[in-house]
Every structure is written in structure tokens, then in C-alpha cells.
Chain A
Amino acid sequence: MSHPLIRSMVDRLVAGLIVLCVSVAAVPVLVLLLFVLINGLPGMLTPGFFTDPPYPQGVPGGGVLNAIIGTFEIVGIGSLLAVPVGALIGIFLSEYGRNQIGNTVRFISDVFTGLPSIAFGIFGYTVVVLTTHHFSALSASVALAVLMLPVILRATETALVLVPNSLREAGLALGAPRWRVTLEIVVPAALGGIVTGALLAMARAAGETAPLLFTAFGNDIIQTNPLQPMGALSLTIFRNALVPYPNLQQQAWAAALLLVALVAATNILARIYVRRIQR
């Protein structure tokens, strides 16, 4: 059983199996990326893609400037709502929440992470759209904020829990009250993890479609007023995919590629940031 030759063969067999499994997992993803790249690049390279709003159906040309602005603005406002609240809850859970209250909050947060994203859309619709009698970017931001909250909350808590207790003891032994130790020592030490969590939550929110369907609703003109309906990249993809006009379909592919690129860039940014902090 423990013969060295057999051991090395088993070693190589298992290593081979692992490589096989990784390939099986990676291949569909790579194929998908390639597909999006090949189909999306022509649309992206079309002049006007980044600078023009969509032209009326049947008219050649146009772009997705409305959607780019929309995605940034909707996710931006949503982040302004979700990041401070999520970070504060995360701080509470880590520093003051090792009890039944904390466990309850954690449980609810974990349930939320599993909710289908359209549920957040219904929330945004009921709370904002119905009361204001208006589709608006704000309602989408609210929906996305609730979606991002559990992610940011958990990432913040995890980052804070990773800060060694010896730092807290050092601060307290100097005669600092607990809240100052938390805010001035522990949180700065965990900032890398908190920022990364926020960035990743934002990247996820940028790709969401269902919550935006009946909140932001979409808008073909360039709109920056958050109280008005607004376009977004995910909505453009959704709507143009089924339209029989090739230039609009091409824009949909290109919008998909743009979204993928934005999400990838955010992830890479987050990693670089963490690496620099750890130096």
C-alpha cells in the first residue's frame, strides 16, 4: 500500500484529475468570455458607441452613453446608501455583536444574500415607485442598496474580525475608551478588507438586471436626474437582445462586453489595492 512507486503514481493520478476538473470548470467560463469578446468588440469599436445615446429603432448608428451614465449613477447612489450603513452594521457585529442580537442580524443578512434579485426590485417598486408615481433611478438605487447591504455588512465584519485582538488590547491598555479603539485603531487596520468588500458589492450591483426592470425602467435619452427613469447597461442588453435590428443587437453585445470589462477591472483594482495595503 505504501510502496513509493505506487505513491508517486497515485500522486500523479490525483494531480491529473484535479487539472481535469479545473478545465471542466474553466472552459465554459472562458468560452463565454470569448463569445462576448468576439460578438461585442465590433459594436464597441463602432464610433459613437461611447458618446451617443441610442437612435430610434431602424435608424443606424447610436450608442449607449445613456446606459453608461445610468449604470454609474444608479450604482453610485445605491453605494452612497449601502456602504456607510453596511459598514456600520459590520462594525457593530464585529465589536459589539458577539451575542444573540448579533446572531440574529447575521442570520437575517445571510437569508437576504440568497433572495432572488427581482425581490429587491419589487421592494424598490413598492417603496419608491408607487409612492412617487414615477419610475426613477432613485428607486433602482434603493433596490440595489438593499441588495448590496448584506454583502458589505459581512465583508466588513470579516475584515474586522481578522484584526488581531492584541491591537485592541494595546489601545485599551493606553486608556482609550472602546469606541475610540474601534474607530481609530481597528477600523483603519481593516480598511483594506472593507474597501474590497464595498467594491465587489458595487461590481455585483452593476450587473443586476431584474431589480431595474420596474424601478429605473430604462430611458433612451441621456438622463442624469435621479428622480426620472434612467437607462442602464444591463437594461440595454435585456431590451436590445430581442429586438430585430442588427445595430441594436450589436450594441447589446458590446454593452455586455463593457459590463464584463467593468466588473473585471473593479475586481483587479480591489486586488491591487489590497496588495498595496499589505506591503
Chain B
Amino acid sequence: MRDGDAEIKLDARRVNFWYSDFQALHDASLAVQARKITALIGPSGCGKTTFLRIFNRMHDLVPGTRAGGEVLLDGHNVLSADTDVINLRRQVGMLFQRANPFPKSIYDNVAYGPHILGWSKQQINQIVEESLKDTGLWDEVKDRLRRSALNLSGGQQQRLCLARALAVRPEVILMDEPASALDPIATLRIEELMQDLKKRYTIVIVTHNMQQASRVSDFTAFMLMNQQRAGEVIEFGPTDDIFNRPRDGRTEDYITGRFG
């Protein structure tokens, strides 16, 4: 995809963010292309997760936060007051750092989203099966759908959370270090899934793991804390360029491991 015919799915423009009086993000911009994987990398505390959580308005859950700037999803600013946040969160799904399945059955976990949307029993059955197949879990769990999700392994639980997010048919999936709590094999499975999913979904992933970012993503944004401890996007471009021909000295320092 060359820049000319790139479809921008999620467009963050000069986003500023405050936790009460503390500014956590300064003029952060990001143009996320549709059906590509965009990675956010940078050292701890540079605002990657804060930035990510603005995209589905999860920051609303924390009292005292303020977001300035625009985040356009298909042209509509999700930060505006008249945004239907409930619908936004259906369109923009999230996978968290630690798997957080509900203490319910495997079936009920995946079915919860469609259940909220009011789909029929038949539709729900179908979407549960599809979502579990999309995350490679179907064969592993099809005989024990009614058993508790908490009995699954860590990697399986995370894939279950992914299936749960897919079941509401989002357009964008935000992933906050989804494999950081998983072993290498489970991590690899998640990465394979991502390659498969990007044919249909736009993915934004925050990751500490640079090798993962270079393996998996099409585009990478490098973030750093500035002097006032607010996060900024230092450089953004195709992953290949960022990792092999970084334009900013700080990017190069981080990538080559001189800090981070």
C-alpha cells in the first residue's frame, strides 16, 4: 500500500492528554492504516498505553482525565462529547496485557458481547463458533464450551479474550502488550493470529518487545517522554524504514539498545 491509496482508519491528530494537572501526552499524532498492523514502541512510561486507551475512550473510566486534539475514526472525532461511546467500543475492541476472561463458561465469555447487542440464540451460537475458530481455539475447546474459562492456560485465556473481542465484529483491535505475560510459544501463536486477522481488521499493538514489533507490524511509531515527562511520537513510518533507516537519532539509540 503506497501512501497515495492508503485508507486511514484511525487518525490521531495532535492529541494532548492530562491526568489532572500532569500532562502525559504532548501533540501525539498517528495515522493508522486500515487492515495493517501498527506498532507503538518506546521505553516504559512514555505514554504508549495511555495513547492507545484514548482510541476507545477507556480513559473515561479514570476520573480527572482530559483529552485534547482529535482522534478520527472513519472521519468522526471519537473524542467529541456527542460520540456514542458504547458503540465506539464495539467498533474498536481491546485486548489487555493480562488475560481477563469473565469467571463464566467459555461459551458465555465469547457470547457476552453479542448477548449485549441483542442477537438471537442462533446468531450467537454461530458467532461463538466463528470467533473461536478465528482464534484457533475451536478444536481445543469445542467439547467443553460450558466449562469455566478460568481452567484454560494463560495463552488459551488470552486467545479466548481475543475471540470475545472479535465476537462483536469490531473494525479495529487495540492490543496492549497482549503477549507480555505469555511464554514464547503462546506469544508466537498470538503473532500468527495477528497476521491472519489483519486481512479483515485494523490492528494497533503496544509492545515492549522490539523484535515482536519488527516481526509483526507493517508500521511502527516510536514514542519518548520529553523534558516535561509528557509522551511524544518521535518517529512514525513503515516498520522496515524505522528499524533499518531510522531518521531520528533517538529512534536509532532505542532500537540498537543503547537505552530502553
Closest residue of A by beta carbon distance from B91: A175
Contacts of A174 in B (CB 8 A): 89-90, 93, 112-113, 116, 164-165, 168
Closest residue of A by beta carbon distance from B174: A173
- A227 on the interface (CB 8 Å rule)? no
Residue from A166, A173, A185 having most chain B Cβ neighbours under 10 A: A173
- A167 on the interface (CB 8 Å rule)? yes
Which residues, 21 to 64 on B, are CB-close (under 8 Å) to A? Answer: 56, 58, 61
- B260 on the interface (CB 8 Å rule)? no
- A61 on the interface (CB 8 Å rule)? no
Query: By the criterion CB–CB under 8 Å, are B103 and A175 in contact?
Result: no
Stretch of B9-17, B94-102, B214-222, B240-248 with 4 or more beta carbons under 8 angstroms from chain A: B94-102
Query: By the criterion CB–CB under 8 Å, are A175 and B116 in contact?
Result: yes
Contacts of A171 in B (CB 8 A): 102, 112
Query: By the criterion CB–CB under 8 Å, are B103 and A189 in contact?
Result: yes
Beyond A172-B61, A172-B89, is A185–B102 a contact (Cβ under 8 Å)?
yes
A-B pairs under 8 A by CB, number: 61
Contacts of A175 in B (CB 8 A): 86-90, 113, 116-117, 168
* Overall SS of chain A's interface: helix
Contacts of B117 in A (CB 8 A): 175
Contacts of A188 in B (CB 8 A): 103-104
A236 CB, min distance to chain B CBs, angstroms: 44
Q: Complex Cα distance A188/B104, Å?
A: 9
B28 CB, min distance to chain A CBs, angstroms: 21
A41 CB, min distance to chain B CBs, angstroms: 44
Query: By the criterion CB–CB under 8 Å, are A167 and B102 in contact?
Result: yes
Which residues, 166 to 224 on A, are CB-close (under 8 Å) to B? Answer: 166-177, 180, 184-185, 188-189
Which interface class (under 10, 10 to 19, 20 to 34, 35 or more) fits B? 20 to 34
A161 CB, min distance to chain B CBs, angstroms: 16
Query: By the criterion CB–CB under 8 Å, are B116 and A173 in contact?
Result: no
Contacts of B88 in A (CB 8 A): 175
Closest residue of B by beta carbon distance from A175: B90
- B161 on the interface (CB 8 Å rule)? yes
Query: By the criterion CB–CB under 8 Å, are A176 and B100 in contact?
Result: no
Query: By the criterion CB–CB under 8 Å, are B116 and A180 in contact?
Result: yes
Contacts of A166 in B (CB 8 A): 96, 98, 100
Query: By the criterion CB–CB under 8 Å, are A170 and B100 in contact?
Result: yes
Contacts of A185 in B (CB 8 A): 102, 112
Q: Complex Cα distance A185/B89, Å?
A: 17
Q: Complex Cα distance A168/B87, Å?
A: 17
Contacts of B90 in A (CB 8 A): 174-175
Q: Complex Cα distance A168/B101, Å?
A: 11
Contacts of A167 in B (CB 8 A): 100, 102-103
Query: By the criterion CB–CB under 8 Å, are B112 and A176 in contact?
Result: yes
Contacts of B161 in A (CB 8 A): 170
Q: Complex Cα distance A168/B61, Å?
A: 10
Q: Complex Cα distance A185/B115, Å?
A: 13
Contacts of A184 in B (CB 8 A): 112
Q: Complex Cα distance A173/B117, Å?
A: 14
Q: Complex Cα distance A188/B96, Å?
A: 22
Closest residue of A by beta carbon distance from B89: A175
Other A-B contacts than A173-B58, A173-B165, A174-B116, 16 sampled, CB-CB below 8 A, are A167-B103, A169-B96, A172-B58, A172-B89, A173-B89, A173-B93, A174-B113, A174-B168, A175-B90, A175-B113, A176-B86, A176-B116, A177-B86, A180-B116, A185-B112, A189-B103
Point out residues on B near A: beta carbons under 8 Å: 56, 58, 61, 86-90, 93-94, 96, 98, 100-104, 112-113, 116-117, 161, 164-165, 168
Q: List 20 A-B contacts (CB under 8 A).
A: A164-B100, A166-B98, A167-B100, A167-B102, A167-B103, A168-B61, A169-B96, A170-B100, A171-B102, A171-B112, A173-B96, A174-B90, A174-B93, A174-B168, A175-B86, A176-B86, A180-B116, A185-B102, A185-B112, A189-B103
Q: Which 7 A-B pairs have the closest CB atoms?
A: A175-B90, A166-B100, A175-B89, A173-B94, A170-B100, A174-B113, A176-B116
